[in-house]
Amino acid sequence: MTSLEKALESADRNLEPAVERLFELLRIQSISTDPSFAPECRKAAEWLADDLISLGFEASVRDTPGHPMVVAHHKAADEQAPHVLFYGHYDVQPVDPISLWESDPFTPQIKTLANGQKVITGRGTSDDKGQLMTFVEACRAYKDAHGALPCAVTLLFEGEEESGSPSLKPFLEAYAEELKADFALVCDTNMWDAETPAISAGLRGLVGEEIVITGADRDLHSGYFGGAAANPVHILARIIAGLHDADGRVTLPGFYDGVTETPDAIKAMWDTLGQTSETFLGEVGLSIPSGEKNRSVLELTWARPTAEVNGIWGGYTGEGFKTVIAAEASAKISFRLVGDQDPGKIRDAFRTYVKSQIPADCSVTFHEHGGSPAIQLPYDSALLNKAKDALSQEWPKPAVMIGMGGSIPIVGDFQKMLGMESLLVGFGLADDRIHSPNEKYAYQSFQKGIRSWIRILDAISH
């Protein structure tokens, strides 16, 4: 029996007590956004620290202005082995509307769904207590089999992820030296499907802008002034209409600087995933891709940059009709970035374009709403490929490397503040109903998730 096999055997043998431990954590009502649950949040942090101490970590609960963090360290048997930081969060979403839960959100149960899937039900099962415990149990199994871990492990568990992580950045700054590792493992993501594990190799960046276009110094009567006075809504509409050309490309000069083409091999892999415009968009009642021509929906959402209006308003928006020419029209506009696109340059190009569209007697003001570059692990990185092979050995189908259209702020923070890349692996499923009533985590996600981490820890340590 190899050292890996021994650890996997230990995990299987101890699955029942592992589930019991997860249930203990799930019973703690650690809702971070509601101050009346603050004691429960602390209780969850203390439970985790105690559990980690019991398996040989040096662990402590660290106070913050909000809910506490848990930080734990464990040395590797071999001092040359890499050092990883694992991140997860112990806080959960509120449970309203409680009446829609089929069983109590804080009384976890094992159930078999109508489709035959065996699941663990309860708030936080998938987001994120179930996921983070796969890693803790993987460490326990490895130690049980070998009395040691194959690499140095630092754990960081946050208690404010569901309420905007207000304490996270100051904490990373204050404990940068202590938290820094060779790379981070972030377990807050999904599998491709129940048989196919996934590694997120890219996360799109984001630039947010709010613009306010001002015309007259008051709202005007469209009868008295219509046809002569500038209408800020028209100006705004022209600006938005001009952001894309007929091929769906963003027209800002220099917008595609730093955008790299996804390797053909990766695009070919994505094409095998069986996701078409009809299946991807069909989920939300659409069918026709609306962005750049001649690219798959997965490429469009994972690996191509975008410009999207997220909100627009101006003039009279109530019941009935009011023939007004608004003094102001506003929009919130965001750009999703990929590759090496520079958020600052894109913001500048956007503002220059907008200003060029404003008549001399009108004006525009800009409000910045954040900006972060894309994150892209090289598809040929050793870390990525070791994790891919490890996952492929555990699951029925080979692991796929995917992109993520959205951003996970912690990944950007790790990169910016601690200089660490993140490996994003998780075992959630799209139908886990996170943030909703009847949240669940597949029993197999927990079981094979533990085994997956054992394989990954083993693979990356040599």
C-beta atoms surrounding 214 within 10 Å: 18
Closer CB to a second copy, residue 300 or residue 457?
300
Q: How far apart are CA 375 and CA 304, in angstroms?
A: 13
Q: Tell me: does residue 270 bind a second copy (CB under 8 A).
A: no
Q: Are strands 183-186 and 440-442 parallel, antiparallel or unpaired?
A: unpaired
Q: How far apart are CA 256 and CA 245, in angstroms?
A: 13
Query: Which residues, in sequence order, are CB contacts of 14 under 8 Å at separation 6+?
Result: 137, 140, 141, 144
Q: Tell me: does residue 269 bind a second copy (CB under 8 A).
A: no
Residues 135-174 that bind a second copy (CB under 8 A): none
The mark string for 368-387 relative to a second copy (x by CB under 8 A, - otherwise) is -xx-----------------
Q: Which residue has the tokens 């007004």?
A: 324
From 23-31, 44-52, 93-101, 322-330, span contacting a second copy (CB under 8 A):
322-330
Query: Which residues, in sequence order, are CB contacts of 225 under 8 Å at separation 6+?
Result: 216, 325
| Dihedral angle, C-alpha 348, 352, 357, 363, nearest 10 ° | 80
Among 37, 135, 255, 280, binds a second copy (CB under 8 A): 280
C-beta atoms surrounding 289 within 10 Å: 19
Among 264, 320, 382, 419, binds a second copy (CB under 8 A): 320
Closer CB to a second copy, residue 79 or residue 283?
283
Strand partners, 410: none
Give the Cα-Cα-Cα angle 24, 28, 33 (nearest 5 degrees).
150
Q: How far is the CB of 322 from a second copy (least distance, A)?
A: 6
Q: Tell me: does residue 102 bind a second copy (CB under 8 A).
A: no
- Please check whether residue 126 is in contact with residue 195, taking contact to mean a CB–CB distance below 8 angstroms: no
Among 334, 372, 422, 438, binds a second copy (CB under 8 A): 334
Q: Tell me: does residue 79 bind a second copy (CB under 8 A).
A: no
Among 236, 337, 402, 411, binds a second copy (CB under 8 A): 236
Among 23, 324, 345, 347, binds a second copy (CB under 8 A): 324
From 66-74, 294-302, 421-429, 453-461, span contacting a second copy (CB under 8 A):
294-302
- Please check whether residue 342 is in contact with residue 255, taking contact to mean a CB–CB distance below 8 angstroms: no
Q: List C-alpha distances in Å: 156 to 7, 103, 278.
A: 23, 31, 40
Q: How far apart are CA 240 and CA 230, in angstroms?
A: 17
Tokens of 407: 């951003």
Q: How far is the CB of 402 from a second copy (least distance, A)?
A: 12
Q: Tell me: does residue 289 bind a second copy (CB under 8 A).
A: yes
Q: How far apart are CA 239 and CA 354, in angstroms?
A: 6
Strand partners, 203: 375, 404
Q: Tell me: does residue 405 bind a second copy (CB under 8 A).
A: yes
Query: Which residues, in sequence order, are CB contacts of 422 under 8 Å at separation 6+?
Result: 87, 183, 184, 185, 186, 375, 410, 411, 414, 415
Q: How far is the CB of 436 from a second copy (least distance, A)?
A: 13
From 148-156, 180-188, 264-272, 319-327, span contacting a second copy (CB under 8 A):
319-327
Q: Tell me: does residue 204 bind a second copy (CB under 8 A).
A: yes
From 22-30, 53-61, 313-321, 431-439, span contacting a second copy (CB under 8 A):
313-321
From 99-107, 262-270, 276-284, 432-440, span contacting a second copy (CB under 8 A):
276-284
- Please check whether residue 291 is in contact with residue 243, taking contact to mean a CB–CB distance below 8 angstroms: no
The mark string for 336-365 relative to a second copy (x by CB under 8 A, - otherwise) is x----------------------xxxx---
Q: What are phi and psi of 347, to 5 degrees?
A: -60, -45
Among 194, 212, 281, 417, binds a second copy (CB under 8 A): 281
From 17-25, 227-235, 258-266, 388-396, span contacting a second copy (CB under 8 A):
227-235
Query: Which residues, in sequence order, are CB contacts of 325 under 8 Å at separation 6+?
Result: 215, 216, 219, 220, 221, 222, 225, 226, 229, 231, 315
Q: Tell me: does residue 301 bind a second copy (CB under 8 A).
A: yes
Q: How far apart are CA 337 and CA 351, in angstroms?
A: 17
From 1-9, 40-48, 175-183, 304-312, span contacting a second copy (CB under 8 A):
304-312
Closer CB to a second copy, residue 225 or residue 353?
225
Q: Tell me: does residue 284 bind a second copy (CB under 8 A).
A: yes
Q: Tell me: does residue 399 bind a second copy (CB under 8 A).
A: no
Could you tell me which of 360, 427, 388 has the C-alpha nearest to residue 131?
Answer: 427
Among 53, 195, 224, 340, binds a second copy (CB under 8 A): 224
Q: Tell me: does residue 321 bind a second copy (CB under 8 A).
A: yes
